[in-house]
Chains A and B, each alone.
Chain A
Amino acid sequence: DVKVTQSSRYLVKRTGEKVFLECVQDMDHENMFWYRQDPGLGLRLIYFSYDVKMKEKGDIPEGYSVSREKKERFSLILESASTNQTSMYLCASRGRGAYNSPLHFGNGTRLTVT
């Protein structure tokens, strides 16, 4: 089974702090994604990466950056956290090829910015 592990289940940070959310997958997947999940809005794509050191902006990249130095690890960075970034963050991975392959998700990191 594919396992996607997010390093923290809960995080509480202060406004202006730099925040790192880490995600590791163990199935040698090329594609990795960061989403945020808010009630009534579904999942919105922040950034994705289709290879090491490659990144693409999703639908809501403002205020975020990412890093993918190794294939198995994809990090989401909040350069200066703000209260409107309080949310559930989900990391996902997918193998190369078909767009209709399943996304494999981690269990999420609930971030609160005070």
Chain B
Amino acid sequence: TQLLEQSPQFLSIQEGENLTVYCNSSSVFSSLQWYRQEPGEGPVLLVTVVTGGEVKKLKRLTFQFGDARKDSSLHITAAQTGDTGLYLCAGAALNTDKLIFGTGTRLQVFP
């Protein structure tokens, strides 16, 4: 079974701080997605990265796919309270159309 480990599991920071969330696996993925889930809602897609080494930016969020397509990171610059939520990475397994979800990182940003 392919596993995606996220770290840290919990993160509590103040507004204005920077942070990085990691998503690691020993398996290669066709692509990787990042979702954010707010309390009482389902996860919502933030970004999809497809090419090894790819970097995508979404305002203050920067996503990177590892060169070997086994890992990814999410960096948030100058966090805001609106960034609070559960961040989930999800890898598309090779030769299937299944998504493997990571263990999740719960981020709390305090004013």
Query: Which A residues fall within an 8 A CB radius of B?
Result: 4, 31, 35, 39-45, 48, 50, 58-59, 90, 92, 99-100, 102-103, 105-108
Contact = CB atoms under 8 A, between A and B. Distances in A.
Given A99-B30, A100-B30, A100-B92, A42 B42 contact: no
B40 A100 contact: no
Interface string B1-16: 1001010010000000
A78 B48 CA distance: 33
Contacts, number: 60
A42 B30 contact: no
Contact of A59 (B1, B31, B35, B102): B1
Given A100-B48, A100-B92, A102-B45, A40 B104 contact: yes
B interface residue count range (under 10 / 10 to 19 / 20 to 34 / 35 or more): 20 to 34
Q: Interface on chain A toward B: helix, strand, loop, or mixed SS?
A: loop
B44 to A, nearest CB: 7
A107 B31 contact: no
A59 to B, nearest CB: 7
Contact of A41 (B48, B50, B103): B103
A59 B102 CA distance: 14
A4 B44 CA distance: 12
Contacts of A44: 101
B72 interface: no
Smallest CB-CB A-B distances: 6 pairs: A105-B42, A102-B45, A43-B101, A42-B101, A100-B31, A99-B97
